[in-house]
Amino acid sequence: MKIYAETKRLILRALLATDAPGMFEMDSDPEVHLYLGNKPVKSIAQSEADIEFIHTQYRENGIGRWAVIEKETGNFVGWSGLKLIKETHNNHSNYYDLGYRFSKRYWGKGYATETAIAARDYGFNILQLNEIIGIADVNNLGSIHVLEKTGLKRISVFDYQGIKHHWMRIEKQSAIIRL
């Protein structure tokens, strides 16, 4: 099991097949999917397939979303991290997207910001990226706030799957990077 980053309260590691029940808890909740197209998963098999898809991203791209584990309890709380997006969105392709998703029972603890900062720092310090992108539904004020606290700035609004989203960016030279 590869650990990519740690924060004071959390471990960010490779997703494992054993994370499927936690992924299913998170992704089957309609509230979690409110700003994600309203398509919660219906079976644990879908969560298992999602984990295998992320493993493919690890192998092909050297990066993918990470499991977020509470140090104190060992509980799976969600995922966070960077993902290489090869498809074209908002006239951009081959960019690194910063994202996160957590089970509802872990909302409001600051985990999204904590892990987003760790992922940003990993991207700039380890992957030597020049920029990181974030995309958020214009109505998802919580996610927009997390991305802004991480240093991303709103660049434009664009249509993503029929819904208006903010295109947000941070460049390496403007980031305050913890070592």
For the entire predicted model, the pTM comes to: 0.93
Q: Identify the domain containing residue 15 by its residue range.
A: 3-134
4 pLDDT band, cuts 50/70/90, is very high
176 pLDDT band, cuts 50/70/90, is low
* Number of domains present in the structure of the chain: 1
Q: Would residue 152 count as lying in a domain?
A: no
Q: Would residue 14 count as lying in a domain?
A: yes
- pLDDT of 173 higher than 80: no
How high is the pLDDT of residue 37? Answer: 77
Q: Would residue 113 count as lying in a domain?
A: yes
Q: Would residue 104 count as lying in a domain?
A: yes
Q: Would residue 172 count as lying in a domain?
A: no
CATH number at 14 reads 3.40.630.30
DSSP string, 52-116: HHHHHHHHHHS---EEEEETTT--EEEEEEEEEE-S-BTTB-SEEEEEEEE-GGGTTSSHHHHHH
pLDDT in tens, 116-145: 999 999 999 999 999 999 999 999 999 999
